Amino acid sequence: MGESALTEFIVEFAPAAVTRGHIARYVRTTTDLAQAGDRMTPAILQRMLRRIRDNGHAVVIPVCERCGRERIIGRGPDDRRICKPCTDALRAEYCADCGRLRPVCIRRDRKPLCNNCRRRLPDAKKPCIRCGNARLVHTVTADGPLCPECAPGKIEPCVHCGRTTRVRVRFTGGATCSPCFDIIRGTRRPCPRCQRVTLVASVADDGTLTCTPCAGRPSPFICASCGIEDIRDGKRCYPCSARDAVDALFRGGIPERREALEPLRVRLTNHPEPKSMNGRSAPHPPG
């Protein structure tokens, strides 16, 4: 991979300048990142190496010192570079409440408790000072406890509508509330810059809403099947989901019946509203 191609790949993989700074600092101290297999490689670079390998390039992936598997690794309780399952295994003790061998969440009276048992404790839930709901305590501030939904970083001004509310996602140009996210991922409209009708899902440097190519960011709404940016059903666009649902519907039955129903299959595949055929309530195949 050439230098320009690598730079373009890193920008696409890590759009945030802070993340690219972490990558640059580590790369400057490593002689051969692709082949070193260094277990001290940060997690973000471990993920980047996997993406490079998926693109067909030969790289060496760091492996867990305990199980030897190719997993994201970090420092374990015994200071070895190990994966999370191994970390959980080393930290596991028999829970004093349920008796199961689980990672220790907290200790009460020097007795280990797993996370499930900790959540059932009477004092595990307290009224959140922000929303007022009795939930698990995420952070205790000087004013009182905050639940996971209201913890720092969860309540911010939405970059799209400006309302200070709960953050749903952050990959559409910044903190995005739930109503704006639903509109963004489910509406095609002309981009203010290029006038192309598409998902206007990113915020440009001047603060205006644009499509992802105009904003210079990789799209988070790429279909995993066809690679096109579109309204999605899960990780795939509705046309791809509908096509698979229709193919599954007509896959059964005798060959003569399938041949007779082929015009209907083609008509359904080209239906102008593929969202109505996402396969979640598909009938039994014609027999």
The pLDDT assigned to 98 comes to: 92
pLDDT band at 287 (very low <50, low <70, confident <90, very high): very low
Q: Are residues 213 and 240 in the same domain?
A: no
Binned at pLDDT 50, 70 and 90, residue 172 comes out as low
CA distance 50 to 40: 16
Give the number of residues written for the chain.
287
Residue with tokens 């070895």: 80
The pLDDT value recorded for residue 1 is: 59
71 domain residue, yes or no = no
Write out the chain in H/E/C secondary structure: CCHHHHHHHHHHHCCCHHHHHHHHHHHHCCCCHHHHCCCCCCHHHHHHHHHHHHCCCCCCCCCCCCCCCCCCEEECCCCCEEEHHHHHHHHEEECCCCCCEEECCEEECCEEECHHHHHCCCCCEEECCCCCCEEECCEECCCCEECCCCCCCCEEECCCCCCEEEEEECCCCCCEEHHHHHHHHHCCEECCCCCCEECCCEECCCCCEECHHHHCCCCCCECCCCCCECCEECCEEHHHHHHHHHHHHCCCCCHHHHHHCHHHHHHHHCCCCHHHHCCCCCCCCCC
For residue 117, count other CB atoms closer than 10 A to its CB: 20
Q: For residue 283, what pLDDT band results from cuts at 50, 70 and 90?
A: very low
Both 215 and 160 in one domain: the answer is yes
Out of 175, 195, 221, a domain closes at: 221
Q: Are residues 187 and 144 in the same domain?
A: no
My answer on whether 277 and 230 are in the same domain is yes
Is the residue at 69 inside a domain? no
Residues facing 156 on adjacent strands? 165
Q: Are 242 and 262 in the same domain?
A: yes
The fraction of the chain above a pLDDT of 70, given in percent, is 87
Does the residue 238 lie in any domain? Answer: yes
The string of pLDDT tens digits covering residues 226-254 is 777 778 777 788 888 888 878 777 777 77
Per the rule left: phi > 0, alpha: psi between -120 and 50, beta: everything else, 195 is left
Number of domains composing the chain: 5
Can you give the residue range of the structural domain that contains 249?
Answer: 223-287
Handedness of CA 85, 90, 96, 99 (dihedral sign): positive
Is there a domain that residue 130 lies in?
A: yes
Q: Are residues 238 and 278 in the same domain?
A: yes
Average pLDDT value for residue range 208-214: 78
d(CA 105, CA 115): 5
Chain centroid to CA 90: 27
Task: Identify whether 43 is part of a domain.
Answer: yes
Greater confidence, 152 or 122? 122
What type of residue is 120? R
Per-residue pLDDT tens digits for 21-47? 777 777 777 777 777 778 888 887 888
Instruction: Check residue 94 and give its pLDDT.
Output: 93
Same domain, 145 and 162: no
Say whether both 159 and 148 belong to one domain.
no
Residue 86 placed within a domain: yes
pLDDT at 271: 73
Residues 55 and 91 placed together within one structural domain of the fold: no
Spell out the residues 6+ positions from residue 104 whose beta carbon is closer than 8 angstroms to its own.
91, 92, 93, 95, 112, 113, 114
Whether residue 104 contacts residue 97, with contact meaning beta carbons closer than 8 Å, is answered with no
Residues 45-95: pLDDT tens digits? 888 888 888 878 888 888 999 999 888 888 888 888 999 899 989 989 999
Q: Is residue 68 part of a domain?
A: no
Structure confidence by residue, pLDDT tens digits, 99-120: 999 998 888 888 999 988 988 8
The verdict on residue 67 lying in a domain is: no
**Residues 181 and 194 grouped into a single domain:** yes
Pair 174, 211 in one domain: yes
**Within this chain, do residues 142 and 201 fall inside the same structural domain, yes or no?**
no
Tell whether the model's pLDDT for residue 146 goes beyond 90. Answer: no
pTM above 0.75, yes or no: no
216's tokens: 């210079």
